[in-house]
Amino acid sequence: MNKNLEIELPSTGAPLLQAESLLQAESVGKTVPGPDGELTLLEDIDFTLSPGQSVAITGPSGSGKSTLLGLLAGLDTPTSGEVLLDGKPFSKLDEDGRAVRRGELCAFVFQHFHLVNDLNALENVMLPLELKGAASPRKTASHWLQRVGLEHRLKHFPATLSGGEQQRVALARAFAVQPQLLFADEPTGSLDHANGGRIGELLFDLNRESGTALVLVTHDQQLAKRCQRHLQLEEGRLFERSESSIESLAEAATESSAQ
């Protein structure tokens, strides 16, 4: 066990789950208007995630991974089908309703971080804790910034942090609320090998210790291999892959992203 986990964490009062499936996509599709008519980004996506499961989503650049993650997290809505969260309608709620449900159960790490520019690192991590009414936001935020190795950058604003440091603040912000479900879009994409490994450890610590389910979009082969399930997007369709093919697919995704 990671010795850091011996630290007692303040509870954020996560609600108990009510349904057997944490997240469900039923025939989800997404089309957008294009210059030559309707453009299909995602088609007929069926997907069920149990509480505590970890899943990697890979696929070539432009295959729709971020679009799918946004739909699953209720940041965007499908043009067909439905997403259910903890067994209840999610994608059919209005924007405010989705934000409330997402805030209760989920955290999201964006591919481009989305930190609040006029808040420093500590304040960025404190923000969702304050919104949730957590007991000691400053202490919890400091703890998680220390866990991602940024205890020396608490008062730095995003513009004065490197890309990798901003990514770690975004991860600390997500970890701090101890969500039931963590969505992360390329969580190690801006990190060097050592920091990528450290964040991988933290993700799976959270998964093991808090039962947090992980949905990770990643080109990182090591990260994908550690997930229980592996899904691959191909031309807007989602395929479940067997354990044995994880390595070759993750390699293919890495090669494709490098082109």
Ligand X SMILES: Nc1ncnc2c1ncn2[C@@H]1O[C@H](COP(=O)(O)OP(=O)(O)OP(=O)(O)O)[C@@H](O)[C@H]1O
Q: Give the footprint of ligand X on this chain (CB under 6 A).
A: 32, 39, 41, 59, 61-67, 111
Contact partner, 143, from ligand X, Mg ion, none, Cβ < 5-8 Å per class: none
- Between 72 and 141, name the residue whose CB sits nearer to ligand X: 72
The first and second tokens of residue 24, run together, are 């469900």
**What contacts 60, CB < 8 A, 6 or more positions away?**
253, 256, 257
Which residues partner with 225 through β-bridges?
Answer: none
Q: Is 26 exposed, middle or buried (0-12, 13-18, 19+ CB in 10 A)?
A: middle
* Cα distance between residue 154 and residue 232, in whole Å: 37
Provide, rounded to whole angstroms, the least separation between the CB of residue 37 and Mg ion: 24
Residues 51-90 close enough to bind Mg ion by CB under 5 A: 66
- Between 61 and 245, name the residue whose CB sits nearer to ligand X: 61
For Mg ion (CB under 5 A), the number of binding residues is: 2
* Cα distance between residue 147 and residue 161, in whole Å: 17
- Between 111 and 146, name the residue whose CB sits nearer to Mg ion: 111
Contact partner, 189, from ligand X, Mg ion, none, Cβ < 5-8 Å per class: none
Integer CA distances (angstroms), 231 to 68, 137, 165, in order: 12, 35, 28
- Between 137 and 196, name the residue whose CB sits nearer to Mg ion: 196
Which residues partner with 217 through β-bridges?
Answer: 57, 185
Provide, rounded to whole angstroms, the least separation between the CB of residue 37 and ligand X: 12
Contact partner, 12, from Mg ion, ligand X, none, Cβ < 5-8 Å per class: none
In the complex, the residues that contact Mg ion under the rule CB under 5 A are 66, 111
